[in-house]
Chain A
Amino acid sequence: MTEKSVEHSLIEAKHFTINLIGNPNVGKSTLFNALTHLRQHTGNWAGKTVQLTSGFYQFGGNYYHLVDLPGTYSLSSISPEEKITCKALCQKTADCTIVVCDATMLERNFNLLLQTLEITNKVVLCINLLDEAEKKQITIDLPAIANALAIPVIGISARNKKGLTELLQAIESICLEQLTPHPPVLCYSAKTEKNITQLQNQLAQKLSSAHSLRWLALQLLSSDKNNRMALCQEWQISDDSLAELINVEQAQTKAISEEITAARLSRADDLCHHSIVYHDQQYHHRDRQLDKILISPLTGIPIMLLFLTIIFWLTITGANYPSSWLSCHLFAFGDKLFAFLINTNLPPKISEALIFGIYRVLAWVVSVMLPPMAIFFPLFTLLEDFGYLPRIAFNLDHCFHKACTCGKQSLTMCIDFIILYIIKLQNSLKFCFQI
């Protein structure tokens, strides 16, 4: 490795672009942070990464530009996140794509992986949360998956930063073209294949070869009229050439769409069947038993209220002690600072403005706002790690649905509640609106 890095620094450092994709909540952002050392915020609810976040890292003398794409379950639907991710992949501007999967939910995660493999072959499969899988006594045969898909498969635990070097090496070998994966093409029925080839040939004449034509052909064949128009607009295929491109009937598109989805799911099942062993057959049973208590109609709401009351009580009452300690010490320090400033040659008006105007306001804001936040957010993160937040959303969805929104908003509301409380604290001293 040292030889290699010397060699690279002697020639010239290369710059590569890496896409990072995966289902929501598989630890994509944690991996991103671990690789780039950039403190990007990570959260537990779906669709948090709406805009593209990117960062840099250096490995073996080369520079890598890592783009964190929005978390999606699929590339074929039409939500904004899926569109962004799909477009980024189809343009083939990246030198390598990392697909992050949750080791405990590979059945669901493989759908996205298989779709990605239909777009590009430069893929590294990164199976995260191996430590969680170990806890649940799930053994994953990584070489078997690597064999079946003919791509590098790296098991990691992003939280504990395990397996990251292997991942970086796999990415390097694909970027430097020391390794060119040839994943097997997912084949559909002869009739569909014929349609795909035909359309692909026609598309080849209209679009540059940089695009993933097979994928685009598949998308056009399986989408209804409106989606087809949107796709054509996106890929700048003019309307009249569209008519000539597609002469597949509406009823047929539905059949093709179903066929494609079913084929992908059954391939995913196949992969899982051959590579995953569940030693503890009842592993999901315990989770279900816990759910029976946490989200049941009888006990779900009281337990949730209890949890939230404890958290809010700890935040509101518990914050008083560090708050008074902080304000006491900060104000005492302010007085000392004022005495010091008076002794210097500074005009009294300026030192008064500095201490009473700036320092005291700052000290007050810090002593009032810091303790509730320093208590509330770690506690909330604890609930998040425990997996309780989606359950709160489940419990409250019905009420929120009536207000034309969804249960996920309850989590934002908890945070809003604390912020309102802090504002009220400030307002009580008539600071809030004078600042």
Chain B
Amino acid sequence: MTLDQLSIDSWAEIQTINEQAPLKKRLQDLGFVCGAKVQCLQKSFAGDPIAYFIRGSVIALRQEDCRYITVTPLTKERDNHHD
């Protein structure tokens, strides 16, 4: 599934970022790389953009950018991201 389908409060591991993503390099620099763990925090009132927690900071992404990122949901709740 893609990152925008991740439900609020759940964690996922990033699988791939599509080559066509216009922000690919920027996303990678912010920590969106294969294997990284990301949590969906909050959707704004129109469902777009969506706030994510990654590498100790909160980043909001638009749906159109999220669609380029495929993830696998993690079932185990990760309360502490610093482990």
Chain A residues with CB under 8 Å of chain B are 73-74, 76-79, 105-108, 111, 254, 257-258, 261-262, 265, 269, 272, 276, 278, 281, 284, 288, 291-292, 295-298, 300-301, 394-395, 397-399, 401, 407
Interface size class of B (residues with CB under 8 A): 20 to 34
- Report whether A73 and B19 are in contact in the complex, using a CB–CB cutoff of 8 Å: no
**By the criterion CB–CB under 8 Å, are B62 and A401 in contact?**
yes
The answer on a CB contact under 8 Å between B25 and A288 is no
Contact between B42 and A291, CB atoms less than 8 A apart: yes
Q: A295-B42, A297-B44 are in contact. Are A265 and B51 (CB under 8 A)?
A: no
Which residues of chain B from 20 to 62 have a CB within 8 Å of any chain A CB?
25-26, 28-31, 33-36, 41-49, 51, 53, 55-58, 60, 62
Interface of A is mostly: helix
Q: Are A295 and B44 in contact (CB under 8 A)?
A: yes
Beta-carbon contact of A77 and B45 below 8 Å = no
Among B30, B42, B56, contact of A73 (Cβ-Cβ < 8 Å): B30
- Which of B's residues lie within 8 Å of A, judged by CB? 19, 25-26, 28-31, 33-36, 41-49, 51, 53, 55-58, 60, 62, 80-82
Name B's interface SS: loop
* Nearest opposing residue in chain A for B82, CB measure: A278
Residue of B nearest to A78 (CB): B25
Query: Contact at A77–B60, with CB atoms within 8 Å?
Result: no
Contact check, B34 vs A258: say whether CB atoms are below 8 A apart. Answer: yes
List residues of chain A with CB within 8 A of the CB of B46.
297, 398-399
A278 to B34, CA, bound (A): 26
Docked CA distance A358–B36 (Å): 65
Please give, as numbers and ranges, the residues of chain A lying within 8 Å of B30 by CB-CB distance.
Answer: 73, 108
| Residues in chain B near residue A269, CB distance under 8 A | 55
Residue pairs across A and B with Cβ atoms less than 8 A apart, 7 shown, are A73-B30, A257-B28, A258-B33, A262-B34, A284-B53, A298-B45, A300-B45
